[in-house]
Amino acid sequence: MIVNGKAYRTVWMEDDTVYMINQLRLPHTFEIVALPDHRATAVAIRDMWVRGAGAIGAAAGYAMAQVALEAPRGVGFAAYVQQGAATIRATRPTAQDLFYAVSRVLAAIEGAPDAESARQAAVRTAQMLADENAAAGEAIGRYGAVLMHDGCRVLTHCNAGWLAFVDWGSALAPIYAAHREGKRVFVYVDETRPRSQGAKLTAWELANEGVPHTIIADNAAGFFMQRGEVDLCIVGSDRIAANGDIANKIGTFEKAVVAHEMGIPFYVAAPTSTIDPACPSGESIPIEERSQEEVLYAEGLLDDGQSGRVRIAPAGSAARNPAFDVTPARYITAIITERGIFKPGDILQALD
């Protein structure tokens, strides 16, 4: 990740402290926050200081390492670890990478012969997970860049780039790889209401990388596809079911349907850690519903240069706010992973 010419990761750990880019402050303020214990890291995951499947997974892995480092010596160690794992699992229900990371670090802890070895194993495994996530993003970029010709016009939704991974990202990784190869790539950035991760985060990333782009209203995507101004769509995923159905940011499903109608390839980019073989189809994926305030209010930079929030709906109106939707496999052209490109119905082969 390049920010003002300097390389960063989205989340990392030093000693017993987790550090991350505070995504709530972007795009107007770049801030690194320090999280001293697993409870603080869990709050950061829950309140979306960090978001995006891969970055959530890495943060959860580091939080589990913090649990092991904090746990008391003696008989209370195991109980503390189990309680810490439950706290982290309860932060976000949809992203499979979170549960994958907690399970990996927990297995390392439980497989150690003593508490001190368990602490070391937890830290080592959490760091391994973060490194694997960054490497997966880079590999997804290599595979996906082949799909983009010189002059390619790409539509993406939400943020599945640097900030959604430890590095590189999923949906944006092929764009970065193609751009660095010298291909001319142009990106239509869906604003992605209600939290506007596209307008705030994806556009910020693309600007730092120097990739030409423009922000469009969510409801404008079909307009540009219908006019023949989009060559392909690429999105990330928070969970992939065994049959190839995927859960991603709300609004993904309707983009996939329109792309299918227009004959435009619709790709999903995600690491194999996002695949949930125990989930038979999208109907079994739990969908997080967030606070109605995210819909009723908008946050940003006010005319006086200060950050603020304004209500955009009538005082007496309520709102529903599902954070994700499910796109059936039949609307997905292929899924790009760090192990290659697979048809949705063959996605479990990526785990072999």
The one-letter code for the residue type at 59 is: A
User: Exposed/middle/buried for 94, CB within 10 Å: 0-12, 13-18, 19+?
Assistant: buried
Inter-residue contact 68 to 118 (CB < 8 Å): yes
Token pair recorded at residue 75: 């008989």
15: annotated active-site residue: no
Q: Which of 238, 245, 276, 325 is catalytic?
A: 238
Inter-residue contact 268 to 255 (CB < 8 Å): no
Task: Output the 3-class SS for 249-286.
Answer: ECCHHHHHHHHHHHCCCEEEECCHHHEECCCCCHHHCC
Taking the C-alpha atoms of residue 99 and residue 262, their distance in angstroms, rounded to an integer, is 36
Nearest to 27 by CA among 301, 309, 305: 301
The contacts of residue 162 (CB under 8 Å, 6+ apart) are: 1, 10, 168, 169, 172, 205
Nearest to 49 by CA among 77, 25, 15, 76: 25
Torsion of CA 42, 46, 51, 52, to 10 degrees: 90
The contacts of residue 185 (CB under 8 Å, 6+ apart) are: 148, 151, 152, 153, 154, 175, 178, 179, 211, 212
Nearest to 338 by CA among 84, 140, 47, 167: 140
Q: How far is CA 298 from CA 61, 159, 252, 315, 321, in A?
A: 32, 18, 21, 14, 14
Taking the C-alpha atoms of residue 13 and residue 22, their distance in angstroms, rounded to an integer, is 15
Catalytic residues: 238
